[in-house]
Chain A
Amino acid sequence: MANFVGSLKKSTVQIALAGVILAVLLAFWKPHVLVEGFQRACLYAVIALPMALILGIVGIINLAHGDFMMLGAYFAYWLNVYTGLDPLLSILPALPAFFLIGMLSYRAIIRYVLGAPELNQLLLTFGLAMVLEQLANLLWTSRPIKLPLKYVSASATLGSFTFGIYEFIYVGAALLVLIGLLIFLKRTDMGQAALAVGQNPRGAKLVGIHVDRTYLFIFSLSIALVGAVGAIFMTRHSIFPLVGGAFTMKSFCLIAMAGIGNLTGILWCSLILGIAENFLLSFRGYAGWADILFFALIVLVIIVRARQRQVK
């Protein structure tokens, strides 16, 4: 056992060391890849974290996840058009509003397929995703929208290298959500109850935990978080009804790579992917291929996981 732990630590150290060396090399060769990749990675992570929470505890794979983020983005846009509220400030109303939307979705739809076969859950959330996308299409048409905000183009210069600093907001958001969720799960009664429900709903019920209420809270919390992320997202990116779909896919890739229930792992995996994706984007003529990276990766992950299972 001790030997096993020792070898594990050694390999972890080796991986970390290799990562640091690669990062330093990259910093000299293509510094903007490192910085932008880091920022992009944190955006992926902050979207994937709530999805991982739902999958880990409620046990539902929510194919409409990215579309809730898209709705959050339009929500911020709407507030800005009608009240002139800054999108970043609209995070505050977005949190309770999307908590409510999450509660409604759970009560009206999700609750009924909790015990159903996985097949029905996938189909249901796929249908929900389509409804949300087309609702947005109906309300705002498919025209891309972007608000002209001055502060998003803030930049800093380091020697001869200039980079955007506004995007570090994703880094802050990712760390805030990750640490917040970890503290919530480890330190609060509700979080402990949620972990217990995630491990074994029947056992949790036996010891007196209100399982349905826990599911409701976790689902609504996740939707609230991803809705608020939408508000941040729309400050920097143009939004359109189909913008969320790709993030659902990428979030699932990250969760599959990190392993279900491993929140911190999602951050590391998104770092690898975000930087790798930006590396590919930095080559002229190959940028169009960057979208395939995630797909290639998930196929690879599935093959590796299947091998591991066979060995066991």
Chain B
Amino acid sequence: MNRWKYLLYLVIFIVLLTLPLYTGVYLLNVVDIILIYLSLALSWDMLLRSGQISFGMAGLFGVGGYAAVLLHLNTGVHPLFSILLGGLAAGILAWLIGTAVLQLRGMYFAIVTLALAEIFRVIVRNLPDLTGGPEGTVLPSAIFSGNSTKTYWLVLAVAVISIIASEAFRRTRIHFALTSIRNDEVVAKSSGIDVFKYLVFIFGITSAIQGLTGGAYAHIYGFVSPDGSFSVDFTLLPIAMALLGGMHSTWGPVVGAVVLGGVSEFLKLKIPYGHLMVYGLIIVVAILFFPRGIVGTLGQRFKNTHRG
């Protein structure tokens, strides 16, 4: 059974790797966007498994993008390397913020992260010499000179890194630590888990993934701007995707991202103004009626039929 599972993963991976051979540029672009949101949704869910909510994806995504673009422009490092540095910058920043605020958790942490995107936007806008101010900064050319196949591979690599990180967190001791923190912090603490240390660590890691994604995104489109890079889309869509697919798993956010990412292309064309409302509705409906999402609900049904 297990061997078949890995074979299936391998086949899917090879199909994804060779996707540019059978699709056109437009479809490839759509898949790029889906993979970007998939990475964000996964990283959000990884933090959620510890019982903490972050509304700050857009902030760290933007920081990663700005760091990557500015480092590339000012120091001339290779774009790929600058993307890695962008992830590192977001991770370090999150580590500092986490150290400051994770002593108080729950709603305090959530509200601080809610402010992050806004704060970074203000900072970026007020440092015109470094960041280009409200207009943002445009790169002389997009990464790989806009070659869509190579771009796709870059985004795929980021998504695979996120999936591997998520699975690694699910299969190691960290999973038990985070789950027990989520279920009951006092019990976790009395079992010898350093709650604060684990939370800062996971916040740093997930933020680094968000920064990495932001760096890749910025280099693909060749520009960063306060309103584009810190857009609420990068917070709202991943949350809706993870909730729709199912929280606390790797495959939930992946399924949610694929389903919603496809739908979003359609929605954008149908309702240019306010198509984001659909995502808000999905969040509300998912929390109220099926908090375990598509994967959780189907998985339960699958188990039941097997038992019955």
A127 touching B115, Cβ below 8 Å: no
Residues on the B chain within 8 Å of A132, using CB: 280
Which of the candidate stretches B10-18, B142-150, B212-220, B270-278 sits at the interface with the other chain? B270-278
Q: In chain B, what residue has the closest Cβ to A287?
A: B126
Measured in the bound complex, the distance between the Cα atoms of B48 and A39 in whole Å is 40
* Contact size range, A: 35 or more
A288 touching B126, Cβ below 8 Å: yes
Measured in the bound complex, the distance between the Cα atoms of B277 and A122 in whole Å is 17
Residues on the B chain within 8 Å of A97, using CB: none
- Residue of A63, A130, A302 touching B104 (CB-CB under 8 A): A302
A249 touching B107, Cβ below 8 Å: no
- Interface mask (A121-141 → B, CB under 8 Å = 1, otherwise 0): 011101111111111011001
Which residue among A253, A289, A291, A305 has the maximum number of chain B CB atoms within 10 Å of its CB? Answer: A291
> Which residues B272-308 have CB closer than 8 A to chain A?
273-277, 279-284, 287-288, 291
Residues on the B chain within 8 Å of A112, using CB: 288
- Asked if B138 lies at the interface with its beta carbon under 8 angstroms from chain A, I say no
Measured in the bound complex, the distance between the Cα atoms of B235 and A129 in whole Å is 13
B112 touching A299, Cβ below 8 Å: yes
Known: A119-B48, A123-B287, A306-B104. A135 touches B118 (CB 8 A): no
- Asked if B159 lies at the interface with its beta carbon under 8 angstroms from chain A, I say no
Residues on the B chain within 8 Å of A124, using CB: 283-284, 287-288
> Which residues A246-270 have CB closer than 8 A to chain B?
246, 249, 252-253, 256
- Asked if A113 lies at the interface with its beta carbon under 8 angstroms from chain B, I say yes
Q: In chain B, what residue has the closest Cβ to A132?
A: B280
Measured in the bound complex, the distance between the Cα atoms of B115 and A246 in whole Å is 9
Q: In chain A, what residue has the closest Cβ to B291?
A: A120
A130 touching B236, Cβ below 8 Å: yes
Chain B residues with a Cβ closer than 8 Å to the other chain, count: 43
Measured in the bound complex, the distance between the Cα atoms of B272 and A141 in whole Å is 11
- Residue of B107, B118, B126, B291 touching A61 (CB-CB under 8 A): B107
Which residue among B100, B111, B119 has the maximum number of chain A CB atoms within 10 Å of its CB? Answer: B111
Measured in the bound complex, the distance between the Cα atoms of B122 and A120 in whole Å is 29
B216 to chain A, nearest CB (A): 25
Residues on the A chain within 8 Å of B236, using CB: 130
A130 touching B283, Cβ below 8 Å: yes
B112 touching A122, Cβ below 8 Å: no
B7 to chain A, nearest CB (A): 37
Residues on the B chain within 8 Å of A303, using CB: 100-101, 103
A contact face: mostly helix, strand, loop, or mixed: helix
Q: In chain A, what residue has the closest Cβ to B236?
A: A130
Residues on the B chain within 8 Å of A302, using CB: 100-101, 103-104, 108, 112
A126 touching B115, Cβ below 8 Å: no
> Which residues B112-143 have CB closer than 8 A to chain A?
112, 114-115, 118-119, 122-123, 125-126
Measured in the bound complex, the distance between the Cα atoms of B55 and A129 in whole Å is 13
- Asked if B106 lies at the interface with its beta carbon under 8 angstroms from chain A, I say yes
> Which residues B241-290 have CB closer than 8 A to chain A?
243, 271, 273-277, 279-284, 287-288
- Asked if B110 lies at the interface with its beta carbon under 8 angstroms from chain A, I say yes
Known: A119-B48, A134-B276, A302-B104. A252 touches B287 (CB 8 A): no
B284 touching A249, Cβ below 8 Å: no
- Asked if B239 lies at the interface with its beta carbon under 8 angstroms from chain A, I say yes
B284 touching A128, Cβ below 8 Å: yes
What would 18 more interface pairs be, CB under 8 Å, given A128-B280, A135-B274, A252-B111? A109-B284, A109-B288, A119-B48, A123-B239, A123-B243, A123-B283, A124-B288, A127-B240, A127-B281, A127-B283, A127-B287, A129-B280, A130-B277, A130-B280, A246-B118, A256-B108, A292-B123, A305-B104
Can you list 29 A-B contacts with CB-CB less than 8 angstroms, sorted by A residue number?
A61-B111, A113-B288, A117-B51, A119-B48, A123-B53, A123-B239, A124-B284, A126-B55, A126-B239, A127-B280, A127-B281, A129-B280, A130-B232, A130-B280, A131-B277, A131-B280, A134-B274, A135-B274, A138-B274, A249-B114, A253-B111, A256-B111, A288-B126, A289-B122, A295-B119, A298-B115, A299-B100, A306-B103, A306-B104
Interface residue ranges, B against A (CB under 8 Å): 48, 51, 53, 55, 97, 100-101, 103-104, 106-108, 110-112, 114-115, 118-119, 122-123, 125-126, 232, 236, 239-240, 243, 271, 273-277, 279-284, 287-288, 291
